[in-house]
Structure 1
Amino acid sequence: MNNPANPEIGDSVVAAGIRTNVLDRGDGFPVVLVHGSGPGVSAWANWRTVMPVLAASRRVIAPDMLGFGFTDRPAAANYTMDAWLSQLLGLLDTLDVPQADLVGNSFGGALSLALAIRHPERVRRLVLMGSAGVEFELTPALDAIWGYEPSFESMRRIMDYFAYDRTLVTDELARLRYEASIQPGFQESFSSMFPAPRQRWIAALASREEDIRALPHHTLIVHGLDDNVIPLSNSLKLAQWISRSQLHVFGRCGHWTQIEHAARFAQLVGNFLAEADSEMEK
């Protein structure tokens, strides 16, 4: 059940020993939405425009990953690929989900890709949106985002990196995200995740080319043509390496595909996952 006073807070479940905040809506074949790594982010902030559409026909599970949102932040937590994958796998086990579709945004795309590689039987279909997960040169925008120091002005500048349409980046939105970023413990965990020099964290989130090429999953790859955070070349590379993939590029779109083109993105993802539903029914 969601908290009516704060839509960011859902159910509290233990996943691989981590008390995890998770939004769990709808019925049907499960899809797990894995958010990005911006300051003050939560599953709700990332996926609020997409969840209601997808939940009309399937079970939507959107967790706050370790170190983000309203999931616990143990003092001894290690913010590593292994820790995040353990949490995701533990979440599937706790919720009794033997297999799910995965939709990963940016950082969440890298985690989704790695989970599909390491545990292919737990993933039916894969959606990667503005995804990390391959090696690329650190962009100035990502360097600034990962290097965020809390202030309203800093958050306002960072928000400008995300959207092609700057009218979406209002002072109100920046204020909400800034206030989210300064809740107790939030900045402490965030600042410890990706300290400079930050190129190494891109490498830490990357999967090996040979492993990506071996993926058997049908994969939808989505990117904004004007993305300044994660380069379009990432998705072109993934489309070349994943044999059962399709690539959709949104024009006049930055890193916020799920917000800037919310209805089209939800329809695209919904149709892609519905194909697998039909195949299962045959």
Structure 2
Amino acid sequence: MTNPEIGKRIVAGHIDTNYHEAGSGPPLVLIHGSGPGVTAFANWSQIIPPLAEHFHVYAPDMVGFGYTETPDSLTDFTLDVWVGQIIDFLDAIGVDKASFIGNSFGGALSVATAARHPERVDRFVLMGAAGLEFHITAGLEAVWGYQPSLENMRKLIETFAYNSALVTDAIVESRHNASISPGAFEVYSRLFPEPRQASISRLATREDQIGAIQHRALIVHGREDEIIPVDVAYRYLALLKRSELHVFGECGHWTQIEKRSRFLDVVIPFLRD
């Protein structure tokens, strides 16, 4: 049986990267979050088809996640590594400049890419984004400190969604199975080591650097997000000169799933305008 989470492969720098590609038009790169068992496909599969009607969509698995290979030589996971992979990925697919949608951890990477390599970024969407300093939430502590079990995965996913009806047995089992695939947990446990507050700092871009970003930015956040507090979104709004903010009520960390239709109504015009 074909695994839908495995897409195309390309070597980005020295990282053999698994990615998904769809559509045509202006390039749009989707950067996933940091939960256990996450892949680009799991994060974005529900919105890739409608986005692909307007954009040439690329969704890579970042190193340390999914089906991208982790080089034996990589012993420390940092913003330098992940931003470097993004730039190498753009080079490998032959894209000079792209827009980005970054989810949570992926939002931190999108901001860092815009700050460090402004010429490679058109505009970007931050969705429940990290990338600023904040006091770690119990939800994020549980995400990064995850220990594999079906029960733990169910509890974790229930913190992602405001609407618990979205947490099906199939989703729990799929994410759990991915989190225990050969070598997956061994790598995951190295990504955000204790003290995990320090991992938030390691993903953060300095506020003065964020304030210097000239790109247009759309900030999207769930009001009831238990992983990244909505206050972070308001801080981004204050820092990013050319930004706008959309907050969804009755919504947790899964904006693109819980509010899929409205999310697309907001994001597509922003990226096309």
* CA–CA separation in structure 2 for the residues paired with 1:26 and 1:6: 20
Which residue pairs with 1:72 in the alignment? 69
Q: After TM superposition, which residue ranges in structure 1, 4 or more long, deviate above 3 angstroms?
A: none
Gaps of 5+ in 1: 276-282
Question: Is there any run of 5+ residues in structure 2 with no aligned partner, and where?
Answer: none
Q: In the alignment, residue 6 of structure 1 is paired with which amino acid?
A: N
Corresponding residue of 1:279: none
Helix, strand or coil for the counterpart of 2:102?
A: strand
Show the counterpart of 1:256.
254
How far does the alpha carbon of each residue in 1:22-76 deviate from its partner, in whole angstroms, 9 at most, with x for none?
1011111000000000000000000011100000111000000001000001222
Q: Does the aligned pair in 2 maintain the 1:33–1:103 contact within 8 Å?
A: yes
Q: Which residue of 2 aligns with 1:95?
A: 93
2:32 maps to which of 32, 35, 44:
35
**Of residues 108, 116, 136 in structure 2, which corresponds to 1:138?**
136
Which AA in structure 2 matches 1:34? I
Structure 2: which amino acid aligns with 1:7? P
CA distance in 2, matches of 1:177, 1:108: 18
Match of 1:267 in 2: 265
Q: Which of 2, 5, 11 is matched with 2:2 structurally?
A: 5
CA deviation profile, 1:104-159 (whole Å, cap 9, x unmatched): 00000000000000000100011000000000000000001100011111101101
Q: Which of 206, 209, 216 is the matching residue for 1:208?
A: 206
- AA in 1 matched with 2:94: D
The percentage of counterpart residues that share the same residue type is 51
User: Which residue matches 1:47?
Assistant: 44
Does the residue aligned with 2:4 lie in a helix, a strand or coil?
coil
Instruction: Confirm or deny that 1:61 pairs with 2:95.
Output: no
User: Shift of residue 268 of structure 1?
Assistant: 1.3
Task: Determine whether 1:20 maps to 2:22.
Answer: no
- Structure-2 separation of matches of 1:142 and 1:87: 24
Q: Which residue of 2 is the match for residue 242 of structure 1?
A: 240
Equivalent of residue 222 in structure 2, options 218, 221, 224? 224
Contact 1:73 1:185 in 2 (8 A): no
Partner residue of 1:193?
191
Per-residue CA deviation, residues 193-235 of structure 1 (Å, 9 max, x unaligned), is 1111100000000001111111100100000000000000100
Q: Aligned letter for 2:65?
A: F
CA–CA distance in 1 between the matches of 2:169 and 2:135?
Answer: 30
Letter of the structure 2 residue corresponding to residue 118 of structure 1: R
Say which SS state the counterpart of residue 227 (structure 1) adopts: coil
- RMSD value over aligned CA atoms? 0.8
Per the normalisation by structure 2, the TM-score is 0.98
Aligned partner (choices 219, 230, 233) of residue 231 of structure 2: 233
Residues 39 and 181, structure 1, Cα contact 8 Å, conserved in 2: yes
Aligned-partner Cα distance in 1 for 2:182–2:77: 18
CA distance in 1, matches of 2:71, 2:124: 30
Measured after TM superposition, the shift of residue 16 of structure 1 is 1.3
Count, aligned residues: 272
Q: Using structure 1 for the length normalisation, give the TM-score.
A: 0.95
Work out which of the residue numbers 147, 163, 166 in structure 2 matches 1:165. 163
Counterparts of 1:207 and 1:73, CA distance in 2: 24
Question: How far does residue 262 in structure 1 lie from its aligned partner after superposition?
Answer: 1.2
Q: Distance in 2 between the 1:79 and 1:266 partners? A: 32
The Cα of 1:267 is off from its aligned counterpart by 2.3
